[in-house]
Amino acid sequence: MSEEIDDVVDNLKQGSTWLRILFMLGFCVVLYIVAVVVLILTLAQALFSVFSGSDNRNLRALGSSLSEYVSQILNFMTYNLEERPFPFAPFPDAKGSATAMETSEQKEQKPAVKKKPAVKKKPETKKKSAGANSAKTKNDKAD
């Protein structure tokens, strides 16, 4: 039992533990700020949709970056990530998701064209006998 108490005391004396807890508290504040920004972004997207008939691509990219940033913060706070998020690391970039968004926009703008499946031609076989050939022509003439 005394060993367990000694371990707890040693953990309390570690500066890195307290520093991480301090950063976690700071990132809690950042999450509240980001939540307000996401709310404003959502309202702006709704207004764009109402007035222009479509969403704003730049705001969509910002929303994608913010969601990745929130994910990084939550991973850090739950000890699933050791690297501290922005401003200690680069801000998440929406380039990968922007490409996916652009391709989905292109699909929405262009109507899907259904292509007919290619008809495979049966390979011609050599005719074995004249009798089989003449039977075929008789059947063809009957049709």
The fraction of the chain above a pLDDT of 90, given in percent, is 46
Domain spans of the chain, in order of start: 13-113
With bands split at pLDDT 50, 70 and 90, how would you rate the model's confidence at 98? very low
Residue whose structure tokens are 């000694």:
6
pLDDT at residue number 136: 54
- What is the model's pTM? 0.61
**pLDDT, tens digit, for every residue of 28-75?**
999 999 999 999 999 999 999 999 988 899 999 999 999 999 999 999
- Is-contact 88 73, C-beta < 8 A? no
With bands split at pLDDT 50, 70 and 90, how would you rate the model's confidence at 103? very low
Residues 127 and 105: their CA atoms lie apart, in Å, by 55
Q: Which residue has the higher pLDDT, 128 or 74?
A: 74
Whether residue 89 is predicted with pLDDT greater than 50 in this model: the reply is yes
The amino acid occupying position 85 is P
- Is-contact 133 127, C-beta < 8 A? yes
- Mind giving me the DSSP string for 31-52? HHHHHHHHHHHHHHHHHHHHHH
Whether residue 128 is predicted with pLDDT greater than 90 in this model: the reply is no
pLDDT at residue number 43: 96
Give the helix ranges, DSSP H, for the chain.
2-13, 15-52, 57-77, 95-109, 130-142
**pLDDT, tens digit, for every residue of 7-21?**
788 878 888 889 999
